Amino acid sequence: MTSDFSVNMNEYLPLRDVVFNTLRQAILKGELKPGERLMEIALAERLGVSRTPIREAMRKLEQEGLVVMIPRRGAQVANITEKDLNDVLEVRIALENVAIEKACARMTEEEMRRLWLAAKEFEHTIAEGNLVKLAEADVAFHEVIYQASDNKRLIQVLNNMREQIYRYRVEYLKEGETRDVLVKEHEELTKAIRERDVERAKQLSFQHIENQRMAIMRSIEAEDAERERAEKEKSRGHR
C-alpha cells in the first residue's frame, strides 16, 4: 500500500467515524485505488489506531458500495463499473437540471462574479498538474451554481451526490485534453446562466456530464483490459 493519506482527528467525532471518514475520502479522491487490497493491520499502523475501528469502517464502506469483501482475500476498494457510473450520472443530470433552472432565475450579480472567478480558478489550477486540486476546483465551480439555486434541500442532496461523483471526477481529469474541454464548457455554461438561458444551460450541462461519462468509460475499459491481460499472464505462469 503506497497511497499517501493520514487520519485527521476531530475531537467532536468518535474514533470509528474519524477512521471511516478518512478511508472514505481516500477512496473518493483516488488515494486508495479501485481494486487495491485493504489490509487491516497495515491501515491500523498507518492511521495509528487499533484494528477495531478499521473493521467497523470497512463494514460501513461495504454498505456504501466503496469496498467489497472477497472470499479468502479480505477487503478491497470496489472497482468502478459501467452500471455504477451510469447510475450516479443519471441522478446528477436530473439534479443539476433543477439547480440550473433555479440558478438562472435567482443568481445575483455577486454570485455571477463568483461563478466567473471559479471558472478562472479551474483554468489556473490546470498548470499545477494536481488532479485532486483540479477536481476540487471543478467542484467549487458547480457549488456556486448549487448555492445560487437557494434551495436548501436540493443543495443537501447535491452535496451528498458530490462525494460519490468525486471518485469519477478524478478519473475523468486524468486525460490531458479533457481539461481544455472543461475550461470551454465552464465558460459557455457561465455565459448561458448569465444570459438566463435555461435551455442552453441545461444542454451544456448534459453535454458536460456526457463527455465525462464517455471519458471515464474509456478509462474503465482500459483498466478492465489491463486486468484481463494480467490475469492471463498469471494463468500462464501457473501452467
123, part of any domain: yes
Residues 47 and 98 in one domain: no
Model pLDDT, residue 150: 94
The beta strand positions in the chain, using DSSP E, are 37-38, 67-70, 74-77
Range of the domain at 151: 82-224
Residues 61 and 89 in one domain: no
171, part of any domain: yes
Average pLDDT, the chain: 87
Predicted confidence band of residue 239 (pLDDT cuts 50, 70, 90): low
1 pLDDT higher than 60: no
CA–CA dist 53, 127 (Å, integer) = 39
Q: Which of 77, 103, 128 is the last residue of a domain?
A: 77
pTM: 0.75
Predicted confidence band of residue 238 (pLDDT cuts 50, 70, 90): low
pLDDT digits (tens, 9 = 90+) for 25-76: 888 777 888 889 999 999 999 999 999 999 999 999 998 888 999 988 889 9
Model pLDDT, residue 97: 95
Residues 97 and 153 in one domain: yes
Look at residue 55 and give its three-state secondary structure: helix
Span of 5-9, 10-14, 73-77 with lowest mean pLDDT: 5-9
CATH number at residue 58: 1.10.10.10
- Residue linked to cell 481494486: 35
Residues 86 and 71 in one domain: no
Residues 90 and 57 in one domain: no
Residues in the chain: 239
